[in-house]
Structure 1
Amino acid sequence: MTGEMNILPVPPTTPTATRPQVVSGDLLKLLTPIEGLISAGKTANAEVLSLKQADQTFQLLLKVTVDGGRQTTVQATSTQPLPTGTNLAITQPSASNLAIAVQQTTASNVAALTRIDTAQLPAGTLLQGKVLTSQVLPQTPGQPTVFRSMVSLLNTALSGSTLTIDSPQPLRIGTLLSALVQDTQTLKFVPLSNRQDQLAVTQQLTTQQSRQGSLNSLLSALQNLPPTDETSADLQAAVNKLLAGLPDVQQLSTAKGLALALANSGLFLESKLLAGQTPTLAPDMKADLLKLIAQLTPPNSSLGAVIAANTLAQAMPSFVRSALGMLGQVSAKPLPTHFPLPERSLQSQDGEGDLEHLLRLAAAAVSRLQSHQLSSLEQTGVTDDGRLMSTWQLEIPMRNLQDIVPLQVKFQREEAPEKQPQNERRDEREPKQQLWRVELAFDMEPLGPLQVQAQLIQGSLSSQLWAERPYTASLIESNLAALREQLLASGLNVGDLDCHLGTPPQGAQTRLEQRWVDEIA
């Protein structure tokens, strides 16, 4: 999308960041009528937690603070958009309505911007944002149609602020856009490139990693879930299904069992849904976690808003969900990411019940799986020298006797760029060279933390192993010769096989610079 859009004009005396005007007396309609939320004749403070457009109305999630400091969240609809962070003074004329009494001043970092300070953001600065709302303004005869939108900024020092703009074109709600600053009142659209898509993925990855928690924390809690009056039959069935779907070490030792565990890891849930498959017909870790969350979420509970932020529908923009279903396709340039994901535990909060804590653990587990998915997207793309790289990163909880050991796996496939001489026929071309790289990370007693890196190209395999315990490193070193013999017997050419004490080095490694050299030539 190209073209210009204008920031709403304001008087010269208006500060850099101000609120759009809200008329006192405007009514907010409660989605669920609540009798006596605010006492008659009293005024309460309300803060807008989220904003979502629905046709010509706007759905708001409000945090209301009433007498005594008690807080509650309510959902309401409004005829005008109120940016996230807006503070209002409200009254309750009826059980179904709230009335805006006075709009209060709030901090500038959550205010809706009405002009750009070019001293802070000079002309030519690239702004990126997500469209929250879009309205067509009343048309003046003889004048072109104008569309008014609110955009949440994603970069620069104004990240998190809301910008109100007018545009000659409608902006689709939920889409990402980029624009260059022209002056204090004008922005210019620029096409959203693959690289900017990558920035959006990286931002989502940061959000997911801050929410995620280790899978074994949830699974251990599920194994020890005591039967109580709160444990319904449906909840127990969801727990049993989740635990029964976990593979054991013997299953992962076979090619068929490993392929099944990879398919059911949750990494491919979106691609299954895009293909029209029903996840209920086969085990899927992510689908089973979402079903568990549905059983754990109390009806009409304010916790629902918290958990909704961790589910697939609201935790990712639609273009990311679509991309997760097509991880094999080449998208943006890969960026370095950390593997494996570190352990992260969530502590039980004061006054929190067992099921409430279990609910937070389940939501954090979904975010952990989504962190792996987004890491896969982040590392899928075209390298600087033109090679095509695809990445699949996932986590499989596996049974080892009475323990559950999370196995983190990353597959990477690199293809050399295809070069076809003009006089060479298509059927005479040599097949593309492919380099496969596999990384494993797990912590299994009594061996302790282990990481494995292996590379395979044209039937030639090399591998490096890292153990954090001296005994384990010595044990592996003494068995490398037997491992080499088994690999040779399977038909592979075996290169380096080494074991090291410690952990793999992070960052770029020079050993990858000559990976396309033919060692046989």
Structure 2
Amino acid sequence: MKLPTGQQPPQPAGQTPISPARAATVNAAGADNPQPSARQQLDALQLANRQATLARVAEIINRQGQATSEVLLDVRGKSLLVEAAIGNTRLETGDWVKVMRAGNELQLMGKLAPAQETGIARALVQHMPWQQNLEGGLTKLLASLSQGLKPDPSPGQLPSARPSQPLPEAARQSIQQVLARLPASASLMPGSGRQEQPLQQIKQWIAESGLFAESRLVQTPSATLPDLKLAVGRVITALLTQQGNGPEHFNRLTPLASPELVQAPLNFPQASPRAPAQSANGEATTVGQMLRLLAGMLNRITVNQLHSQVLTARTGGDAPAPLSTLLLELPWVTPQNEPRVAQLRLEQYPEDRGTQEQQHKASVSEWRLSLAMDLDEAGPLHFDVALRQQSVSARVWAEKQSTLRQVNEELPLLRQSLTDLGLDVTDLECRRGTPQASATRLEHRLVDTRA
């Protein structure tokens, strides 16, 4: 059903109009499988007549050169199958469109222009298969300080046939700088969070995690900034210089990847399996292997940067979305000087406002923090904390029964510490197991996480 003659649909700002404008008719199933009528399906979406909303093209079905196509739309979190005649406008899975109810039909009013999220997602998917676990990478970097690296073997020569050589001085200094600034497990004692110095340390660790490397370079153009991502780059440059190679050689290397990050690249936070212990007398890594490992570590940090951008840029639909999301991994060292990694997810959610009058009031954000780590004796731990103005709630998950018992014994001290900070503790508990992870979906069919 076309729009009335001479009447063109309004063009949303920054969007591409569908031309010619056509109607999308809700598809009803046959008699063998009766489904709600078109009117019932539209009423279930709480969509009034002449009301417009945004919908995402979830799937295009039976598109075989016909004038009409079956399109599965994701409207307000619900799936709706429609028969659409859209003229010359090409729809792809993942596109966002503006639709308006006209009686018992949906009129396609316009197609949104490609969002910033699309380009970020494309860059993200290129790095995801080649991520190297930061804990395993840092372990090998630390071992290289004492073991050195072996030169790459000549064709037909075994790697063990050549003796290891000390690291270039520039690479050694960069690795030592990173290790010197990593937090130690003994640096934060119970109750120290109320002191100013530990809070400043935490801010420093987050700032130097590598997630903000580019923005820090813009503010302070210095190649010697203490930053994990920049330090990895300095080690790479030193190794390439020692071999007489330029940056183009590094770009041709295939990065090393960790299997668990290939199988579940977007689950965050999730404590990674413990990296195998590095023996002090073990065989040294070759320069080429170390460069591939460093490339995988750079990809891991880059994936966290791009993933944060995708989640922050994602808009549309009616489900509340975070105003901003940060995904970062914070390396730290044990008393035995062994690297470990804690995964942190920080999200800011807007106020849930129900009326037009409330929209003009000052909004109150809710901050949600998820932290996952795997401790030697306590095992995997997961923390979920929510802060809204002065109200805070926290939940701790522990896999080991002994750890669960110990955490429950410490909860009164945690409650008192939060109260001393002026916070109203609304909920505080510890549970056995792990929380159900919320899988991230990349739109535009770049990654199919439904398989």
TM-score by length of 1: 0.51
Structure 2 residue 90 is matched with structure 1 residue 180 = yes
Partner residue, 1:455: 386
Please, which of 133, 136, 140 is the counterpart of residue 221 of structure 1? 140
User: Which one of 188, 191, 202 corresponds to residue 121 of structure 2?
Assistant: 202
| Cα deviation digits, residues 452-487 of structure 1 (max 9, x gap) | 001011211111111121111111122212221222
Q: Indicate which of 311, 315, 332 corresponds to 1:379.
A: 311
The alpha-carbon distance between structure 1 residues 342 and 365, as it changes in their structure 2 partners (threshold 3 A), is: farther
Match of 2:351 in 1: 416
Match of 1:259 among 199, 203, 213: 203
- For 1:257, give the aligned amino acid: Q
Q: Aligned partners of 2:200, 2:306: CA distance in 1, in Å?
A: 26
With 387-396 and 494-503 compared, the bigger mean Cα shift is at 387-396
Choose which of 291, 296, 302 in structure 2 pairs with 1:364.
296
Within a 5 Å distance, the mapping from 1:461-472 to structure 2 comes to: 461-472=392-403
Distance, in Å, in 2 between the alignment partners of 1:475 and 1:371 is 35
Q: 1:88-167, aligned counterparts within 5 Å?
A: none
Q: 1:121 to 1:400 in 2, by over 3 A?
A: farther
The DSSP-based 3-state class of the residue aligned with 1:280 is coil
Structure 1 residues 420 and 246: CA distance shift in structure 2, 3 A: same
Cα distance in structure 1, aligned partners of 2:128 and 2:424: 39
* Unpaired segments ≥5 residues, structure 2: 1-14, 18-61, 70-88, 93-110, 149-163, 257-264, 440-451
Q: Residue 286 in 1 paired to residue 229 in 2?
A: yes
Cα-to-partner distance string for 1:425-447 (whole Å, 9 max, x where unaligned):
x9xx6421110000101112211
| Matched-pair contact (CA < 8 Å) for 1:121–1:181 | no
What is the alpha-carbon distance in structure 1 between the residues aligned to residue 171 and residue 67 of structure 2? 56
SS at match of 1:180: coil
Structure 2: distance between partners of 1:356 and 1:123: 56
8 A contact 1:269–1:279 mirrored in 2: no
Q: Percent identity?
A: 26
Task: Tell whether the 8 Å contact from 1:411 to 1:437 is kept in structure 2 after alignment.
Answer: yes
Residues of 1 paired with 2:169 and 2:175: CA distance?
10
Question: Structure 1 CA distance, aligned partners of 2:389 and 2:437?
Answer: 26
| Structure 1: distance between partners of 2:91 and 2:225 | 50
Answer whether contact 1:387 1:416 (CA < 8 A) is retained: no
- Name the structure 2 match of 1:406: 341
Q: Name the CA distance, whole Å, in 2 between partners of 1:191 and 1:414.
A: 24
Q: For the residues of structure 2 that align with 1:500 and 1:280, how far apart are their CA atoms?
A: 45
By percentage of residues, which structure has more strand? 1
Contact 1:415 1:433 in 2 (8 A): yes
The 2-side partners of 1:123 and 1:201 are apart by 33
CA contact (8 A) 1:388 1:417 kept: no
Q: 1:120: Cα distance to partner?
A: 6.6
Q: Kindly indicate whether structure 1 or structure 2 has the higher relative contact order, using CA contacts under 8 Å at least 6 residues apart.
A: 2
Amino acid at match of 1:267: L
CA contact (8 A) 1:410 1:440 kept: yes
What's 1:232 paired with? 168
Displacement of 1:286 = 0.8
Q: What amino acid sits opposite 1:205 in the alignment? A: L
Is the Cα contact below 8 Å between 2:132 and 2:297 reproduced in 1? Answer: yes
Q: C-alpha distance in 1, partners of 2:224/2:430?
A: 42
For 1:442 and 1:495, how far apart are their aligned partners in 2?
25
Aligned-partner Cα distance in 1 for 2:324–2:136: 30
For 2:271 and 2:411, locate their aligned partners in 1 and report how far apart those are by CA, in whole Å: 28
Structure-2 change in CA distance of 1:492 and 1:401 (3 Å):
same
Deviation at 1:396, TM superposition (A): 1.0
Question: In structure 2, which of residues 251, 260, 272 is the aligned counterpart of residue 305 of structure 1?
Answer: 251
Q: 1:495 aligns with which of 417, 423, 426?
A: 426
For residues 285 and 422 of structure 2, the distance between their equivalents in structure 1, rounded to whole angstroms, comes to: 56
Residue 192 of structure 1 corresponds to: 113
Q: CA deviation at 1:360?
A: 1.6
Cα deviation for residue 237 of structure 1 reads 2.0
> Alignment length, in residue pairs?
303
Q: Is the 8 A contact 1:123 1:180 kept in 2?
A: no
CA distance in 1: counterparts of 2:232 and 2:208, whole angstroms: 12
Taking the aligned partners of 2:284 and 2:113, their CA distance within structure 1 comes to: 44
Q: Is the 8 A contact 1:391 1:412 kept in 2?
A: yes
Would you say 1:268 and 2:268 are equivalent positions? no
Relative distance call for 1:245 and 1:307 in structure 2 (3 A) is farther
Partner of 2:366: 435
Task: Verify the 8 A CA contact 2:255 2:296 in the aligned structure 1.
Answer: no
Q: Which one of 321, 331, 342 corresponds to residue 397 of structure 1?
A: 331
Deviates more, 1:447-456 or 1:375-384: 375-384
8 Å CA contact 2:255–2:292 kept in 1: the answer is no
C-alpha displacement of 1:258: 0.3
Q: What's the CA shift for 1:271? A: 1.8
Amino acid at match of 1:447: A
Structure 1 gaps of 5+ residues are 4-117, 126-178, 183-189, 311-335, 509-521
1:388–1:415 CA contact under 8 A, matched in 2 = yes
Q: Is the 2:213–2:227 contact (alpha carbons within 8 Å) kept by the matching residues of 1?
A: yes
CA change 1:444–1:122 in 2 (3 A) is farther
Structure-2 change in CA distance of 1:216 and 1:191 (3 Å): same
Deviates more, 1:380-389 or 1:392-401: 380-389
- Counterpart CA distance in 1 for 2:66 and 2:180 is 58
Structure richer in helix, relative to its length: 2
- Give, in whole Å, the separation in 1 of the partners of 2:268 and 2:384: 11
Offset of 1:122 from its aligned partner? 7.0
Residue aligned with 2:250, SS: helix
